[in-house]
Every structure is written in C-alpha cells, then in structure tokens.
Amino acid sequence: MSPDDLHPQAKAILAGLLGSDGVVRRRSMAKAITMLESTRADHRSWADDLLTAMLPHTGRAFRLGLSGVPGVGKSTFIEALGLYLIGQGHRVAVLAIDPSSSVSGGSILGDKTRMEHLAVNPSAFIRPSPSSGNLGGVAEKTRECILVCEAAGYDVVIVETVGVGQSETAVAGMTDLFALMQLPNAGDDLQAIKKGIMELADLVLINKADLDANAATRAQAHISSALRLFAPHPHTDIEHAPWQPPVMLLSALKAAGLEDFWGLVQQHQKVQKAQGLFIQRRQNQSLTWMNERIQAGLQSAFKENPAVKHLWPELTALVVSGRLAPSTASRRLLLANQNHPHSSGDIHA
Ligand code: GDP
C-alpha cells in the first residue's frame, strides 16, 4: 500500500504521524487510534490501509509488558521509569489492557491522576485501556496502538495490565519482555502466585522493598527458587543458555532500582537477539495475532448467520435441558452455517 493510494483522511494521518511537529503528531495518533477503533466498515477499511502504510515505520521500539495486582506500584514504577528513560533521550508510550473496564464500565488502569508527571511530559504518550469489548478485542486494539506509537517515533512502548483473567498472557504475547511485579510478602505465600503467570515472566520485580528489606529479600529468594523449578534444563553452552528470569528488588516510590532494571532489560534483549529469539518471538506473535483475528472473525460471522441465529435458541434449550449432546448441537449449527453461507455484510474481526 503506497501512501498515494490511501484515503485522503488516512493519508493526512500518516503524514502527521511521520512528521516532525509534535503537536500534529499527537493529534494524528489520536485520530489514527479512533479510526482503528471504529466499527464502521468504511473506517475499518481505511484503517487497514493506514496500518499497511504505517508498517515500514514500525517495529523499532522496545516493547515492555508489565503486570501486577492493583496497588503493587505499576503506575508509580512506570512514571519513574518513563521519566528516567526520557532523561536518557527516549520517547515513551504507555498503553493499558484492563479487561475489567468492559465489565465494570470503569477502568482500574484508566484513572487520570495516575502518572501525572509523565502524562504532561511532551516525550510521553499515555493511553488508558480501551473500555469496550472482550479481552480479545481490547488486546487487538492495543496491538494496533503499539504500531501507531512506533510509527510516531516512540522507541519504548510499555503495555501494562492488572493481574486478572488472561490479560497477562495477552500482554506477554505482544511484548519483547514481560515483567511481573510482586509485593514483598508474595514470597511467603507462593500459592498466591499463579504458576502459569510465573512461567510467562522474563523478569520479576519485587516492589516496595523500602518498606521491609528483610521481607523483600526473603521474597526474592523464594521466587528465585520457584522460578528455577520451571526453568528449562541448564545449558553448558553459555551462548545458547536459556534466559533465567532474574528477580530484582525495587522501590518505585524512591525510584531505586531503575538503572538495574534497565540494565537487565538490555542484557535480555542482547541475549535474545544473539540467539535469534527476538525475531522469532515477534514473528510468532504476529502469526498468533493473525490466527486469533481469523478465529474471532469466523466466530462473529458464524453468529451473524441467519440460519445459525434461527436454530440457536432451540438447540441451546435442548443442550441445557440435557436432551441433546453439545457436540451434536454444534455440528448442526456448523452444518447450517455451511449450507446457508451468509454473504451479505462484512466480517468483523
Ligand atoms: P498500581 O495500582 O499497581 O498502579 O499501584 P500504584 O503505583 O498506584 O501504587 C499504589 C500505592 O503504593 C501508592 O500509594 C504508591 O505511592 C505506593 N507505592 C508504589 N510503589 C511504592 C514503593 O516502592 N514503596 C512504597 N513504600 N510505596 C509504594
């Protein structure tokens, strides 16, 4: 897709994103995101063209995922880290995935008072979680938003999430490094840490280490030994040795540990790139994203099919009353979908 072939509105947005005027760039980012979030079929088609035209200008940022329960200190950390990185010449974007926002109508991560210093910094861009749709939809918008930020020249993109549902998996699946933030007392009760989430972590941060240094060190030892249990077999060949997730102490409030954190991030990226894993991770993420959207698109087209809609109430009633096996019901619905293809309308993924 050449920029010349774009819809005039998308063309103007692209020029603004790539231009040097900071104010225009921000405005263009907001417009691009609005276009990408639109459910109107014509907008979606312009947005797809815009994404394609943007793509050569994306991919150069470091994408950091961060997860932790509400109150663990994510926003305090992101504000401190963001300002530290901006001080080093980086431009920092912060995006959020908060699946609870679509259920409760209010976002845990959307509070406007969060990161107040970073929010007003001209080298930062903060966007709260999209507040509609299921996790798949919210994750989809966030992935596209990462590309917008990258095209606009942000070279560090932080995606944060609260530890609910599958949102950690979604964030780990769209970032280059996934960091898990814990409280010092978490180590005393390893049951509290979901094993599946631990396995996703490339790095564990124990925040609020200033409150109780002993508890924090204990947590560090507990979590380190737990992580060793999940670790792949030790490798004698250092060059190919798998990354062993470090567990580090942090005080986001006192901005203590930021340099160590950034040092570990750089070490991780160096190892990943040397082992060819960086590109592999991104390629896998792109293919997973594509497959997820195909599944979502097929599912929504299926549910929109009039033949399926017609049969749905009767078959679901039979399934819940135990008179029809779920597998038989699903086969009948799939057959109805196959025999009566629904051709009008677009597929929305
Ligand atoms: P979030 O919900 O994970 O974004 O957590 P916040 O960043 O909003 O932090 C929750 C509370 O913990 C706030 O009152 C912070 O000031 C406090 N806090 C965050 N980091 C630290 C820390 O390193 N030490 C201490 N003592 N308090 C912290």
CA-wise closest residue to 125 among 61, 72, 189, 177: 61
DSSP 256: B
**Residue in the block written with tokens 């599944």:** 295
- 269 contacts 294 by C-beta, under 8 angstroms: no
**Residue in the block written with tokens 């896998």:** 284
What CATH class does 58-275 carry? alpha beta
Cα(127) to centroid of ligand 1, in Å? 20
- Tens of pLDDT, residues 39-49: 888 888 888 99
- Domain 1-56 maps to which CATH number in 1.10.10, 1.10.3470, 2.60.40, 1.20.5? 1.20.5
Instruction: Please say if the pLDDT value at position 235 is more than 80.
Output: no
Q: Which amino acid is at 85?
A: L
Cα(220) to centroid of ligand 1, in Å? 19
Cα(72) to centroid of ligand 1, in Å? 6
Cα(18) to centroid of ligand 1, in Å? 36
Cα(102) to centroid of ligand 1, in Å? 24
Residue 80: per-residue pLDDT = 97
CA end-to-end span of the chain: 21
Cβ-based neighbours of 169, under 8 Å, separated by 6 or more = 196, 200
pLDDT confidence of 345, banded at 50, 70, 90? very low
Q: Which tokens sit at 285?
A: 């993420």
- Tens of pLDDT, residues 79-109: 999 999 999 999 999 998 877 655 555 566 6
Provide CATH 1.20.5 ranges for the chain. Answer: 1-56
Provide CATH 3.40.50.300 ranges for the chain. Answer: 58-275
- What is the average per-residue pLDDT within 17-34? 92
CA-wise closest residue to 99 among 166, 38, 34: 166
- Tens of pLDDT, residues 161-187: 987 668 888 899 999 999 999 998 765
Candidates 74, 76, 112, 129: which one to mutate for ligand 1, based on the most atoms within 8 Å of Cβ?
Answer: 76
DSSP string, 34-53: HHHH---HHHHHHHHHHHHH
Ligand 1 surroundings by CB, under 6 angstroms: 68, 70-76, 207-208, 210-211, 251-253
For the entire predicted model, the pTM comes to: 0.88
Candidates 253, 258, 260: which one to mutate for ligand 1, based on the most atoms within 8 Å of Cβ?
Answer: 253
Angle at 152 between CA 269 and CA 347, to 5 degrees: 95
Per DSSP, the three-state class of 322 is: coil
Q: Phi/psi class of residue 100: alpha, beta or left (left: φ > 0; alpha: ψ in -120 to 50)?
A: alpha
Torsion angle of the four alpha carbons 259, 166, 223, 231, in this order, in degrees rounded to the nearest 10: -100
